[in-house]
Structure 1
Amino acid sequence: MKTRMLSMLVLGAAAFAQASGALAQAASAPQAQAGAEAETQTAVADYNAGNLSTALKEFREAADQGNRLAEFNYAMMLLNGEGTTANVDEGRKWLLKAAQANMSHAQYVYGKMYDDGDFVARDPAVAHQWFLKAAQQGHVQAELALANQFLDGRGTPRDNAQAFIWYKKAAEAGDMTAQYVTGSFYEHGGDGVTVNLNVARAYYAAAAAQGDPAARLKYQDLSRELQDEAKKQQSK
């Protein structure tokens, strides 16, 4: 989970840099909220500079004021034992706060904990609830996780039609794995999906462009198949 935290911190820093002007002009925003956002921005900078104990303190101060990014990052530092001794119970508590505040990435990470059994007893049904919340907000990793659960019947009854819906959403958002699986659905059909080799080839091509070697082979196979079919039609 450490890598997820680092990813979110980088995103947080970028978001703050982009919104700095808006923060200065946000007359309608409560002063406390603006202060918590500024405190979180400072904490992100300190974390990225390696000042972990300082960042931990700053995240906690901003988290106490209800900043969701601060809640999430404070939770992850506690869970990872960064800048402090690991404290799983306290880390889970703050991660849940961020998830309950409708932060989609916190919802995904909280669900992933239950899906994998990290820091908690494995419970795919609980994971499913949080994946769904995050996926409904367009969180791509959650969309893929939800699709996998529907395909496997893990934490929810098996439902290939629902799996396809969520794989396609993640594929359209650029997820390589989802692009491959969506291509496979269109190649083979079933569960409400009509076979369409041209569409399948397009999804395989998208995954291949991101470096998936299996998708590249699928793209090549379907290209040959479609060419052969076109030649047969022309010869009639």
Structure 2
Amino acid sequence: MKTQMVSMLLLGIGAWATASGALAQAASAPQARADTDAETQAAVADYNAGNVAVALKEFRAAAGRGNRLAEFNYAMMLLNGEGTQANVEEGRKWLLKAAEANMSHAQYVYGKMYDDGDFVQRDPAVAHEWFLKAARQGHVQAELALANQFLDGRGTPRDNAQAFTWYKKAAEGGDMTAQYVTGSFYERGGDGVERNLNVARAYYAAAAAQGDPAARLKFQDLSQQLRNEAKKQQSK
């Protein structure tokens, strides 16, 4: 299966493009200045304007000078065959360069490639190593992917306590799925997590606010439970 590149609106300093394999357009501070030179910015503008052949050349030139953002975008264009014929081997090479240069989104995408078996033989253990590198830099998608691996025992021994740790980090980073799962940990308790329906309700509320219908139902159920418990306490 081929990873799909999509053009993203410029997010500004403080964010990477969030879709796996997406064209990255801005780096997280304080790395942004090093990753957004004039040629790379011009390449992003040309890509968004549909001038993909020109953008490809500009990304290639900037990547050759060691610009991580250009390395990543050049890799994605090669993998997806945009502005040129698809070249998986060369694309993987440039993606690895960006990942080894400590670009968190490149680390996440490189890990996801191995987790999903896209362009490479599936290897969850390799994916785990790269997810961990990106997650330690605060990459929310990597935090969620890492949590899922710990929960499933995929690419690493199963560890629900570690899963909770990374789900909570991703939840605090605004991920809706992680907010729901973190809420479920607090609702049931265990695995080193103290049961707390009020905290669970808050996480379900956060996920519900982002449009999760299951979280909305959980929020309503826990709200009713807490009201019932409050009434019992008052009647004693």
Fold-level similarity (TM above 0.5): yes
Q: Say if 1:10 and 1:76 are closer, same or farther in 2 by CA, change over 3 A.
A: closer
Find the aligned partners of 1:142 and 1:114 in 2 and give their Cα distance: 13
1:65-104 equivalences under 5 Å are 65-104=65-104
The residue number in structure 1 matching 2:142 is: 142
The residue number in structure 2 matching 1:214 is: 214
Q: Say if 1:4 and 1:150 are closer, same or farther in 2 by CA, change over 3 A.
A: farther
Find the aligned partners of 1:102 and 1:6 in 2 and give their Cα distance: 22
The residue number in structure 2 matching 1:169 is: 169
| Contact 2:7 2:48 (8 Å CA) reproduced | no
How far is 1:5 from its partner? 6.4
1:49-128 equivalences under 5 Å are 49-128=49-128
| Contact 1:5 1:73 (8 Å CA) reproduced | no
| Contact 2:111 2:130 (8 Å CA) reproduced | yes
Q: Could you report, residue by residue, the CA deviation over 1:37-56 in whole angstroms, capped at 9, with x for unpaired residues? A: 11101100100000011100
Find the aligned partners of 1:156 and 1:5 in 2 and give their Cα distance: 33
1:195 aligns with 2:195: yes
The residue number in structure 1 matching 2:4 is: 2
Q: Could you report, residue by residue, the CA deviation over 1:188-212 in whole angstroms, capped at 9, with x for unpaired residues? A: 0110000000000000000000000
Q: Could you report, residue by residue, the CA deviation over 1:37-90 in whole angstroms, capped at 9, with x for unpaired residues? A: 111011001000000111000000000000000000000000000000000000
Find the aligned partners of 1:180 and 1:202 in 2 and give their Cα distance: 10
Q: Could you report, residue by residue, the CA deviation over 1:159-200 in whole angstroms, capped at 9, with x for unpaired residues? A: 000000000000011100000000000000110000000000
Structure 2 gap ranges (5+) = 10-16
Q: Say if 1:96 and 1:10 are closer, same or farther in 2 by CA, change over 3 A.
A: closer
Find the aligned partners of 1:229 and 1:161 in 2 and give their Cα distance: 29
The residue number in structure 1 matching 2:185 is: 185
Indicate the structure (1 or 2) with the bigger Cα radius of gyration: 1
The one-letter amino acid of 1:46's match is D
| Contact 2:52 2:83 (8 Å CA) reproduced | yes
Find the aligned partners of 2:5 and 2:225 in 1 and give their Cα distance: 41
| Contact 1:43 1:56 (8 Å CA) reproduced | yes
Q: State how many pairs are aligned.
A: 222
**Secondary structure in 1 aligned to 2:118?**
coil
| Contact 1:5 1:76 (8 Å CA) reproduced | no
Q: Say if 1:170 and 1:15 are closer, same or farther in 2 by CA, change over 3 A.
A: closer
Q: Could you say which structure has the greater relative contact order, defined with CA pairs below 8 angstroms and 6 or more residues apart? A: 2
Structure 1 gap ranges (5+) = 24-32
How far is 1:4 from its partner? 5.9
How far is 1:2 from its partner? 2.5
Identical pairs, percent: 81
**Secondary structure in 2 aligned to 1:2?**
coil
Find the aligned partners of 2:82 and 2:202 in 1 and give their Cα distance: 44
RMSD between superposed Cα atoms in Å: 2.2
**Secondary structure in 2 aligned to 1:151?**
helix
How far is 1:6 from its partner? 4.2
The residue number in structure 2 matching 1:40 is: 40
Find the aligned partners of 1:171 and 1:52 in 2 and give their Cα distance: 36
Find the aligned partners of 1:161 and 1:100 in 2 and give their Cα distance: 29
**Secondary structure in 1 aligned to 2:137?**
coil
